[in-house]
């Protein structure tokens, strides 16, 4: 998770739109692994609805003064800097936001708590408050007012990373389940010899390969500069659904052992549950796909 944040969540917008000076100060040491980055988008009152964030960065002379707070920040307890999404004006919600590099050691940054989670327990997740945090205006990434657009682009990379990151763990669960059920006997035969077991594992392995193909297609298009929002959203949706289905099915074949904390399958059952929630919930992915299919009802303005 932390590596994903470092490489594909907190830095793509900086790499694409940041000034050379900003890239030297924040991107180069992040790539080198000398500093830890985090991404500050979600807030206590705004997760799926990114446009409704409340954190403000108000321009005062050569500085921005930041007030507000962020929630669910991966690596937030240890990060050196945050790629922060904040409102920099009172304009329309998709045009009033900016991305800023915020040094986490700045005065007024308060790490309120480390959140106790059911999974991804080796990755720290923080709630953070900002109280009159002063950062130089040169820490703005790209143009003021373009933050929402930059973040939506940045999300595509985050979502593709999420899919890429889950493929091998899912394959490993299948492999370990084959090994376990091959040696575990019930009713005088290995559990794997039941057709419901080996057929199910074959179905799940097929689904993993389909997911891999969709990801490769999305990444190939992305590298060629094509808008991959639809395919990245489809892959992210499918990855979340498949991870839940696969870990649940495999865990069942482990019997009581699957319900212990001693085996990989139970850990991934918990860890991969995040896939359907983080980086945009399944329902948000469905809404994006529907937009591209032109089936999403238009919002009625009062």
Ligand X SMILES: Cc1cc2nc3c(=O)[nH]c(=O)nc-3n(C[C@H](O)[C@H](O)[C@H](O)COP(=O)(O)OP(=O)(O)OC[C@H]3O[C@@H](n4cnc5c(N)ncnc54)[C@H](O)[C@@H]3O)c2cc1C
Contact footprint for ligand X (CB under 6 A): 5, 38-42, 47-48, 72-74, 117, 120, 125, 274, 277-281, 283-284, 287
The distance of closest approach from Cβ of residue 181 to ligand X in the complex, given in angstroms and rounded to an integer, is 31
The distance of closest approach from Cβ of residue 110 to ligand X in the complex, given in angstroms and rounded to an integer, is 17
Half-sphere CA count of 156, side-chain side, radius 13 A: 21
Q: For residues 292 and 230, is the Cβ–Cβ distance under 8 A? A: yes
Record the tokens describing residue 120, joined without a space: 């991804």
Closer to ligand X by Cβ: residue 227 or 283: 283
Q: Please count the helices (runs of H) and the strands (runs of E) in the chain.
A: 9, 10
Closer to ligand X by Cβ: residue 217 or 270: 270
- Catalytic, 144? Answer no
Residue nearest to ligand X (CB): 47
Q: φ and ψ at 96, to 5 degrees?
A: -110, 10
The distance of closest approach from Cβ of residue 193 to ligand X in the complex, given in angstroms and rounded to an integer, is 39
Compute the CA torsion angle 36, 42, 44, 49 (nearest 10 deg): 180
Residues 6+ apart with CB under 8 A from 299: none
Closer to ligand X by Cβ: residue 202 or 290: 290
The distance of closest approach from Cβ of residue 73 to ligand X in the complex, given in angstroms and rounded to an integer, is 5
Closer to ligand X by Cβ: residue 77 or 281: 281
Q: Give me the catalytic one of 21, 131, 158, 283.
A: 158
Q: How many residues does the chain have?
A: 302
Closer to ligand X by Cβ: residue 18 or 278: 278
The distance of closest approach from Cβ of residue 70 to ligand X in the complex, given in angstroms and rounded to an integer, is 6
Q: φ and ψ at 270, to 5 degrees?
A: -80, -50
Q: Which residues are catalytic?
A: 158
């Amino acid at each position: 998770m932390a590596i994903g944040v470092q490489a594909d969540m907190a830095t793509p917008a900086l790499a694409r739109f940041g000034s050379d000076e900003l890239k030297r100060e924040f991107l180069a040491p992040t790539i080198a692994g000398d500093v830890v980055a985090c991404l500050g988008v979600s807030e206590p009152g705004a997760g799926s609805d990114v446009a409704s964030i409340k954190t403000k960065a108000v321009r005062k002379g050569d500085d921005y003064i930041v007030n507000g707070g962020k929630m669910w920040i991966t690596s937030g307890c240890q990060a050196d800097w945050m790629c922060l999404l904040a409102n920099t004006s009172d304009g329309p919600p998709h045009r009033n936001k900016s991305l800023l590099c915020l040094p986490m050691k700045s005065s007024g940054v308060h790490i309120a708590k480390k959140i106790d989670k059911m999974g991804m327990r080796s990755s720290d997740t923080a709630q953070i408050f900002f109280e009159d945090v002063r950062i130089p205006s040169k820490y703005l990434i790209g143009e003021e007012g373009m933050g929402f657009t930059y973040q939506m682009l940045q999300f595509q990379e985050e979502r593709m990373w999420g899919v890429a990151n889950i493929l091998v763990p899912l394959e490993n669960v299948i492999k370990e389940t084959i090994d376990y059920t091959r040696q575990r006997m019930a009713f005088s035969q290995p559990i794997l010899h039941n057709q419901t077991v080996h057929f199910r594992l074959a179905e799940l392995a097929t689904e993993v390969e389909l997911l891999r193909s969709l990801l490769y297609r999305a990444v190939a298009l992305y590298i060629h500069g094509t808008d991959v929002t639809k395919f990245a959203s489809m892959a992210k949706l499918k990855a979340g659904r498949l991870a839940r289905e696969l870990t649940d099915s495999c865990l069942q074949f482990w019997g009581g052992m699957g319900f212990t904390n001693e085996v990989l399958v139970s850990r991934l059952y918990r860890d991969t549950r995040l896939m359907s929630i983080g980086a945009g919930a399944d329902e948000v992915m469905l809404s994006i796909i529907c937009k591209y299919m032109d089936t999403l009802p238009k919002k009625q303005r009062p």
